[in-house]
Structure 1
Amino acid sequence: MEDENGAQEAAGGGERELDLSNSHLHDLEDVPIAGTLTALDLTTNRLKDIDSRILALTGLTSLCFRQNLLPDASVVAEFQSKGVLEDLELRDNQLKQLPDLTGFHKLRRLEVSYNQLRSISGLLSLGTSNPLEELYVAANKITKIEGLEDLVQIRILELGSNRVAKIEGLETLQSLEQLWLGRNRISTVENVGHLTNLRQLSLQSNRLECMRGFEECVGLEEVYLSHNGISRLEGLGTLTRLKVLDVSSNRLEKIEGLDSLGQLEDLWLNDNSIDSWEGIYESLQGPRQSLTTLYLHNNKVAADPMYRRKCMEILPNLGQLDANYTRRT
Structure 2
Amino acid sequence: MAESPPDDVSTKETNPGLQSSVSIETCPGMEETDDRGNEGEKTKEIIIVDPDTEELDMNHQKIGRLENLEPLTKVERLYFRWNLIKKIENLESLVTLKELELYDNQITTLENLDSLVNLEILDVSFNRLREIKGLDQLHKLKKLFLCANKISHIQNLCHLKDLTLLELGDNKIRVIENLEGLENLKCLYLGKNKITKIENLDSLKMLEMLSLQSNRLTKIENLDSLTLLDQLYLSENGLTKIEGLERNVEISTLDLASNKIRVIENIEHLSKLEEFWLNDNLVGDWTSVQNLTSNKKLVTVYLEHNPVASDPSYRRKLKIMLPWLSQIDATLCR
TM range (shorter): 0.7 to 0.9
2:78 maps to 63
| Unpaired stretches in structure 2, ≥5 consecutive residues | 1-41
1:195-234 matches, within 5 Å, as: 195-234=204-243
1:49-88 matches, within 5 Å, as: 49-52=65-68, 54-76=69-91, 78=92, 80-81=93-94, 83-88=95-100
CA contact (8 A) 2:116 2:137 kept: no
2:44 maps to 27
CA contact (8 A) 2:67 2:89 kept: no
2:114 maps to 102
Comparing 43-52 and 291-300, the one that deviates more = 43-52
1:1-329 matches, within 5 Å, as: 26-28=43-45, 31-52=47-68, 54-76=69-91, 78=92, 80-81=93-94, 83-126=95-138, 130-281=139-290, 283-287=291-295, 289-327=296-334
* Per-residue deviation, 1:211: 1.0
Q: Match for 1:118: what amino acid? A: R
Distance 1:226 1:120 in 2: 26
CA contact (8 A) 2:189 2:210 kept: yes
* Per-residue deviation, 1:322: 0.7
Distance 1:247 1:32 in 2: 49
Q: Match for 2:246: what amino acid? A: G
CA contact (8 A) 1:187 1:209 kept: yes
* Per-residue deviation, 1:96: 0.2
Question: Aligned Cα RMSD in Å?
Answer: 1.4
**Structure 1 outlier segments of 4+, above 3 Å:** none
SS at match of 1:285: helix
Distance 1:167 1:34 in 2: 44
Comparing 147-156 and 309-318, the one that deviates more = 309-318
Q: Match for 1:139: what amino acid? A: A
SS at match of 1:179: strand
Q: Choose between structure 1 and 2 for higher RCO, CA contacts under 8 A separated by at least 6 residues.
A: 2
* Per-residue deviation, 1:34: 2.1
CA contact (8 A) 1:239 1:260 kept: no
SS at match of 1:40: strand
* TM-score, normalised via structure 1 length: 0.86
CA contact (8 A) 2:182 2:204 kept: yes
